[in-house]
Structure formats: C-alpha cells, structure tokens
C-alpha cells in the first residue's frame, strides 16, 4: 500500500524513537520524506535507511525552539520538493527531574515550554502557512498521555503537552473548511530512548519499568512503530473526516 505516493511528508524529531519510525513508515508508503532533528547525526542515520530503500530524502538539523530555523525548515522543504503535504511534529523533550510543582527549577520549566509548546507552535504556524498556499494538507502533533491527565512531579512536561492539545484543537477548528486537518496523538509508555533513558530511567529500573507496563491494560510497553501507524492513518485520506482529535495510543490505559 502506498497511501503517500509522491506526497511530501515532514517529520520533526526523526532521529530516533517515534520520529524515526514515522519517517521510515512514510518512506515505505511512497512519500518523499523530510527528516529533521536537533541531532544531525541521528537524522542522517534515519535518512541513510530511507535512501537504502530508494526514498527521496531531505535531511535538516533543526532546533524547533528557534523560530527562524523552523521557518527555514518549511522553506527548504518547499524549495526542494515543491510542496508540503503532511507534517508529523514529534520533536520534544522530557525533563530529567522529578520534583513537586513549587520546587521545579524555573530554567527547566522554560526549557520544556520553549521546546514542547513554543517549538510545536512554530512548526504548526509555518506548516499551516504553506498548506494554505497550496490548498490543504494534514498535520499531526505528538502530545502525550501527560497531555490528557496530570503527571505528578513533572509539571512542565504535563503543562506543555496539555497546551499542545489546546493548540491542535483550536487550529483544527480555524482551518477545518480550508482542507487542512490537524490532530494530536497522546501516547502512554512507548519504548523509545526518551522514556527508557530519561527521567525515570526505565532501562535501568526494573520496578519503574514494570509499573509503566502495568499502567496499560495490555501490560506491555508500546512500540514506536505502533504510534507511527496511527500518525500515518491520521495523515491519510482514510481519516478525511477527522480533525481536532487528541487520540490516545495507550494500550487501554484510559479505558
């Protein structure tokens, strides 16, 4: 199946985890893929896999918290491929600290807000501008289960991911009659470097890993490819009547 044959699909945070899985999935379905990440080496590894599958690729080093870099990302995409049909905004960061709200350091608060909220806004802003020029497109933003419920001792992450959902729902309404669909995905515990090596260090903490698995009704971690499949569905014509959703990919956690 080639749902995205000759489509131009951009993925932020494509150097690892959900972003890499999404970029590879787009390539497998016929897309021309724009691979972006703040870590250029990781982005190039993703691009190398795609090129090995005869996929046309543009690789860019992008810090999404830098508005000018994001604006340039969309410009280079259009300069290279002529348009932008789909965008999946995966790039984001999780904090390394577990502290109550009053004790969370301000610099850590601003860092997560700048990347997860401001950065995602910049992406959506410039992607919409291009899609308005060309007559439509589809955008998916990766929020989190922490965008649907509180996450104790991780307030900037939860606040920023809730805000992404608000951004998506608002923009979806604004452009619903202009052939631009905008949705969010809210994953729970997905086996990515960010969660395995991050704040809770699940790769080194068997008790925390077991707790993460038990949070889902399926009693296992999700895989990046399982989130990527949902992102591709939301970008495809199969989801043509879906916009403004914050869709849990949660192994039954919210059932």
Q: What amino acid positions are annotated as catalytic residues?
A: 157
Q: Answer whether residue 199 is part of any domain.
A: no
Tens of pLDDT, residue by residue over 122-136, are 999 999 999 999 999
Q: Answer whether residue 2 is part of any domain.
A: no
Tens of pLDDT, residue by residue over 139-173, are 999 999 999 999 999 999 999 999 999 999 999 99
pLDDT over 90, % of the chain = 87
Q: Answer whether residue 56 is part of any domain.
A: yes
Q: Contacts for 110-113 with beta carbons within 8 Å, 24 or more apart?
A: 111/156, 112/156, 112/157, 112/160, 113/156, 113/159, 113/160
Q: Answer whether residue 205 is part of any domain.
A: no
Task: List the domain range (segments joined by +) for residue 110.
Answer: 8-190+224-249
Q: Answer whether residue 118 is part of any domain.
A: yes
pTM above 0.75, yes or no: yes
Tens of pLDDT, residue by residue over 170-208, are 999 999 999 999 999 999 888 887 777 766 677 777 887
CATH number, residue 126: 3.40.50.720
pLDDT over 70, % of the chain = 98
Q: Answer whether residue 182 is part of any domain.
A: yes
Q: Answer whether residue 23 is part of any domain.
A: yes
**pLDDT above 90 (res 1):** no
- pLDDT given at position 212: 81
Q: Answer whether residue 219 is part of any domain.
A: no
Considering its fold, how many domains does the chain have in total? 1
- pLDDT given at position 135: 98
- pLDDT given at position 35: 98
Tens of pLDDT, residue by residue over 227-245, are 999 999 999 999 999 999 9
Identify the band that residue 213 occupies on the pLDDT scale cut at 50, 70 and 90.
confident
- pLDDT given at position 203: 76
Q: What value does the mean pLDDT take over residues 42-71?
A: 98
């Amino acid at each position: 199946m080639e749902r995205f044959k000759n489509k131009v699909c951009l993925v932020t945070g494509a150097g690892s985890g959900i972003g890499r899985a999404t970029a590879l999935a787009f390539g497998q379905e016929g897309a021309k893929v724009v691979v972006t990440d703040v870590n250029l080496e990781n982005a190039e590894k993703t691009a190398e896999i795609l090129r090995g599958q005869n996929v046309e690729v543009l690789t860019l080093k992008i810090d999404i918290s830098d508005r000018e870099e994001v604006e340039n990302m969309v410009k280079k995409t259009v300069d290279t491929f002529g348009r932008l049909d789909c965008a999946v905004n995966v790039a984001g960061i999780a904090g390394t600290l577990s502290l109550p709200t009053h004790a969370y350091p301000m610099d850590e608060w601003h860092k997560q807000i700048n990347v997860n909220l401001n950065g995602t806004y910049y992406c959506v802003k410039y992607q919409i501008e291009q899609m308005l020029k060309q007559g439509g497109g589809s955008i998916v933003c990766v929020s989190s289960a922490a965008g649907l419920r509180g996450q104790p001792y991780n307030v900037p992450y939860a606040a920023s991911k809730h805000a992404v959902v608000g951004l998506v729902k608002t923009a979806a309404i604004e452009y619903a009659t202009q052939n631009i669909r905008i949705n969010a995905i809210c994953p729970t515990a997905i086996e990515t470097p960010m969660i395995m090596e991050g704040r809770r260090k699940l790769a080194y903490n068997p008790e925390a890993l077991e707790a993460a698995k038990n949070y889902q009704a399926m009693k296992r971690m999700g895989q990046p490819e399982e989130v990527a499949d949902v992102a591709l569905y939301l970008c495809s014509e199969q989801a043509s009547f879906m916009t403004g959703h914050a869709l849990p990919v949660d192994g039954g956690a919210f059932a």
